[in-house]
Copies of this chain bind each other. A is one copy, B any other.
Amino acid sequence: MSHNTFGHLFRVTTWGESHGPALGCVVDGCPPRIELTEDEIQTFLDKRKPGQSKYTTQRREADAVRILSGVMSDDHGVQRTTGTPISLMIENTDQRSKDYSEIRESYRPGHADYTYDAKYGIRDYRGGGRSSARETAARVAAGAIARKVVPGLIVRGALVQIGPHKVDRSRWDWDEIGNNPFFCPDATTAARWSEYLDQIRKDGSSVGAVVEVVAEGVPAGLGAPLYGKLDQEIAAALMSINAVKGVEIGNGFEAAALTGEENADEMRIGADGRPQFLSNNAGGILGGISSGEPVVARFAVKPTSSILTPRRSVTRSGEDVDVRTKGRHDPCVGIRAVPVGEAMVACVIADHYLRHRGQVG
């Protein structure tokens, strides 16, 4: 059972609400003797942190992580994991006090307000409670650890679509990612998005997005044929991010329109005498098992449900109401989903790396 846990050998349990004192996670199963400091984790948290541009929520959170357990200095003074659970905590510091009475009574369309009440009969209405995007900070922190578990693993993400505007793949440059507030791998596209999103933001509207995550350095052999497929668990991990409505691996939905001839990734023996693939439609995974090619996953993020335009809804007590959401929100929540997607993919790969080592040796 895994309502708030993901992973098996590399396991992450997250906790915390948007407006509680803190949030965090427990990372269980991290191998011992891996170098790990708060600073390393902080680096990744800083990428996800809100309030870094006008395109993300203006909530101001330091998102400062503390390691509460699971590491110690070795004989040489280097801080390392001990093999025991690593508890990470991030305090909430900017839970702006405001009047939640409206949200408390009304179900915001597109939000989980209605379904939470249907399920639990009680709901933390303050800032989305458990469904707040703040929870993803814990994922990013866990992902920072996961990256260190698999030697040579590099996981990078990019935003490849905002609203109807897709990135120009012919100009893909990973080095551009850090040069714009969108994790966009193409400066020209970034400029276009900037203009488009300015208007969305001014309108109090929001828009969806597509994120692509690429993992390089994944050894061949990770995963399992059926219910432990590497792609299946990546799909689950990405779909577990708030607002995600679709996931695909490799060429994904495009594969439906192709013939077997077009879709086949052919192979040849390379100059180094080793098998190599001549294309990567499969996104690095065949039969649920990694092929050694880069693992490529994409996920669709729906537009932020919090918008200024009133939408029709109902109250808990059964009355019609119109709801408009004021306050600090991301006009495109897909932007901050990039480091979150990276983290989730890193966690799944780390888990499968350990599982493979366990079963096959």
Quote the shortest CB–CB distance from A57 to chain B (angstroms): 14
CB neighbours (8 Å) of A229 from chain B are 239-240
Add 12 more A-B contacts to A3-B28, A258-B303 (CB < 8 A): A2-B8, A4-B28, A14-B226, A17-B84, A112-B288, A119-B221, A163-B259, A205-B259, A227-B240, A239-B247, A256-B302, A261-B309
Binds B, one of A46-54, A129-137, A177-185: A129-137
Most buried by B among A239, A262, A354, A357: A239
Take A5-B227, A33-B121 as given contacts and tell me if A15 and B85 are in contact as well, using a CB distance cutoff of 8 Å.
Answer: yes
Complex alpha-carbon distance, A173 and B310, angstroms = 35
24 sampled A-B residue pairs with Cβ under 8 A:
A1-B355, A13-B13, A14-B226, A15-B86, A22-B87, A24-B87, A74-B122, A83-B122, A83-B359, A109-B265, A114-B291, A115-B290, A116-B289, A135-B226, A161-B256, A163-B259, A206-B259, A235-B247, A236-B236, A245-B283, A247-B248, A253-B253, A263-B305, A354-B359
By a CB distance below 8 angstroms, the chain B residues around A118 are: 220-221, 289, 291-292
A residues 250-295 touching B (CB-CB < 8 Å): 250-269, 273-275, 278, 282-283, 285-292
Are A208 and B258 in touch, CB under 8 angstroms?
yes
Complex Cα distance, B218 from A128, in Å, reads 24
A5-44 interface mask toward B, CB cutoff 8 Å, 1 = contact, 0 = none?
A: 1101101011111001111101011011100000000000
Let me know if B264 and A109 touch, CB within 8 A.
Answer: yes
A119 and B289 form a contact (CB under 8 A):
yes
Whole-angstrom CA separation of A10 from B123 in the bound complex: 20
Contact A291 B26 (CB under 8 A): no
Interface size on A, residues (CB 8 A): 152
A72 proximity list for chain B (CB < 8 A): 122, 124, 126
In-complex Cβ contact of A282 among B110, B289, B306 (8 A): B110
Expressed in whole angstroms, the Cα–Cα distance for A208 and B259 within the complex equals 7
- Decide if A153 is an interface residue (CB 8 Å cutoff): no
Instruction: Say yes or no: is A313 at the interface (Cβ < 8 Å to chain B).
Output: yes
**Is A328 interfacial (CB 8 A cutoff)?**
no
- Report A103 CB to chain B, min CB distance, Å: 13
The residue in A122, A130, A314, A319 that gathers the most chain B C-beta atoms within 10 A of its C-beta is A122
